[in-house]
Copies of this chain bind each other. A is one copy, B any other.
Amino acid sequence: MAVKHHYPHAVPTLGPAIEHGFYYDIDFGNAGKPSAEDFPKLEATMHEIISQALPFHHEEVTADQARALFEMNPYKRELIDNLEKEGKTITIYYTGDTFFDLCGGGHTDTTGDIAPGSFKLDKIAGAYWRGDEKNAMLTRIYGLAFDTKEELDAYITQQEEAKKRDHRILGKQLKLFTFSELVGPGLPLWTPRGTLIREALNDYVWSLRKQQGYQRVTIPHITKSDLYIKSGHWAKYAEDLFKIETRDKHLFAMKPMNCPHHAQIYASELRSYKELPLRFSETTMVYRDEQSGELSGLARVLSITQDDAHVFCRESQLEEEMGRVWQIIETFYGTFGFSLTPRFSRRDPNAPEKYMGGDEGWTKAETAIKNLIHAKSADNWIDGEGEAAFYGPKIDFMAKDSIGRTWQVATIQVDFVQPTNLELEYVSEEGKRERPVMIHCAVMGSIERFMSTFIEHTGGNFPLWLSPTQISILPIADAHKAYAVSIKNTLSEKDIRVELDDAKEGLGKKIRNAREMKTPYWAVIGDAEVANGTVTLEHRTEGKIGEMKVDDLITRLTNEIKEKK
């Protein structure tokens, strides 16, 4: 209505509600069209419309009546034709007396119900009619819309904060990963600094798993297609696989997941119930053939490093085994200050036909999860009725980051189907062949996705134990360099990751460089420090800590590293 007020020639097309607001695609033809600079003018008109508290009301019309109302708008007529073909009800919504639109509703009672300041025009872009590049190019105006001004403000603050923390920008600035045009998009190359963080995170997950009785295994990244035909993945996911024809004309695929390979290690021996649970763990890359257009930063990549694990156990062991995984997930995410919300994704009780595997097993597994949620006193759990996978129920964990965004992170999935497809067995106490159940669980999910979340969660201010450089030694002048080198060597011997900045630059510049790289600590060395055998320590957020003996510095750093703070 505001657009039509300022641009009477505008032809509205489609304008749906989306997450955090709405957009509207409008054809301005060759006449004047707005830019972002016109947003204040449009918003002022929107506020005026609100202040008039114009009533919304709607009318059901026939297709012919609708076509007559939109005689001058071929887009709306196309929509009306489609609604007619599909036999759907056609409704027109009026705003006051003069403005109307083809719309399914619903609306508030009047424009006065919209809280002033709860919305904001956001950005403008080009968009093809119905997303098809053969059609006319339209102008898409995006708006943000919330219930209250407070919610809008909070969202805008979060977005601004998120922009500062964009992992693609920080990844470059902190020299963590890089992309090469020769290698291709979606294929990150991890530098020494980025690899250091990856390895430290991975070692941490492994240390938690080792405590829980996991064992590592190793598999190749390819397989004959036979494996996926038997596991059932070929039928479902063939088009997402990178396929290879070998020189011997065999059909191979790159693995998009690890479970069928791990199941082959399980199946390499006749297993006894005494061996169960068997807990296999492996951090390895999987590959999925995504469209290049979908690739950006680390959030979506072709080479995905999963910190994967598969537990082969009896149904009676499900609760304990899922509890062990939960323990690992809780400890891991707790270390970084993420708060977790579990979602119990279970069967839709009204559609039992959607699920594979016997009812008894499902009931046991769902009961195990319920008991576990109770045992964990997780009173914030979400009930995901009908959200189970076809192969089993699961627990998904949602993590809230430092700026309030929520990410789906780890999941614990029960699987009844693959053990059946791959004919896994064990010999029971009675000497009978029985089927084990599989539990899938990646703690970080993928290292790439965790890294992108983690970089944005910390804004690149990694805790000391994960900082590629833990401390920089900053001699003020050349005279202090020899002493600075000796400090560097002493710290290095204690396995502290230390850098010496002996460039011919002023101290101010050196400190700015350390800040730019988000180095947690730096130690300034001048005449006094050389004379006293000390350093003057500063911290990236705490500021100046003071002069201290090198032994005290080592104690401080090693304790902080050990505590993973």
Interface positions of A (Cβ within 8 A of B): 175, 178, 180-184, 187-192, 194-196, 198-199, 215-224, 226-227, 230, 239, 242-248, 250, 252, 254, 260-261, 264-265, 267-269, 280, 282, 285, 287, 289, 291-292, 302-303, 305
Contact = CB atoms under 8 A, between A and B. Distances in A.
B175 A190 contact: no
Nearest to A289: B247
A243 B251 CA distance: 12
Nearest to A305: B218
A252 B198 contact: no
Contacts of A180: 227, 264, 267-268
Contact of A182 (B194, B227, B254, B303): B227
A470 to B, nearest CB: 15
Given A215-B192, A219-B189, A184 B250 contact: yes
Nearest to A304: B220
A226 B181 contact: yes
Contacts of A175: 269
A251 B501 CA distance: 44
A175, A198, A224, most chain B CB atoms within 10 A: A224
A292 B248 contact: yes
Nearest to A262: B189
Contacts of A198: 218
Contacts of A194: 218
A217 B191 contact: yes
B222 A189 contact: no
Given A195-B216, A224-B184, A261-B183, A247 B190 contact: no
10 contacts: A178-B265, A183-B219, A183-B223, A189-B218, A194-B218, A196-B216, A221-B287, A222-B287, A248-B291, A254-B254
Contacts of A224: 182-184
Nearest to A182: B227
Contact of A264 (B183, B215, B302): B183
Nearest to A269: B175
A184 B217 contact: no
Contacts of A199: 216
Contacts of A218: 189-190, 194-195, 198, 305
Given A180-B267, A192-B216, A195-B218, 9 more contacts: A181-B226, A182-B260, A189-B219, A195-B282, A220-B302, A221-B287, A239-B247, A247-B289, A254-B254
A220 B291 CA distance: 17
- Sorted nearest first, the 9 A-B pairs with minimum C-beta distance are A220-B303, A192-B215, A190-B218, A178-B268, A180-B264, A184-B224, A182-B227, A187-B220, A183-B223
A222 B187 contact: yes
A332 to B, nearest CB: 20
B220 A268 contact: no
B223 A182 contact: yes
Contacts of A223: 182-184, 187
A449 to B, nearest CB: 15
B195 A215 contact: yes
A161 B332 CA distance: 50
B192 A227 contact: no
A192 B213 CA distance: 12
Contacts of A184: 223-224, 226, 250, 252
Contacts of A250: 184, 292
Contacts of A254: 221-222, 244, 254
Contact of A247 (B183, B246, B291): B291
A115 to B, nearest CB: 46
A217 B244 contact: no
A199 B302 CA distance: 26
Contacts of A265: 178, 189-191
Nearest to A185: B224
A273 to B, nearest CB: 14
A220 B285 contact: yes
Contacts of A178: 264-265, 268
B217 A195 contact: yes
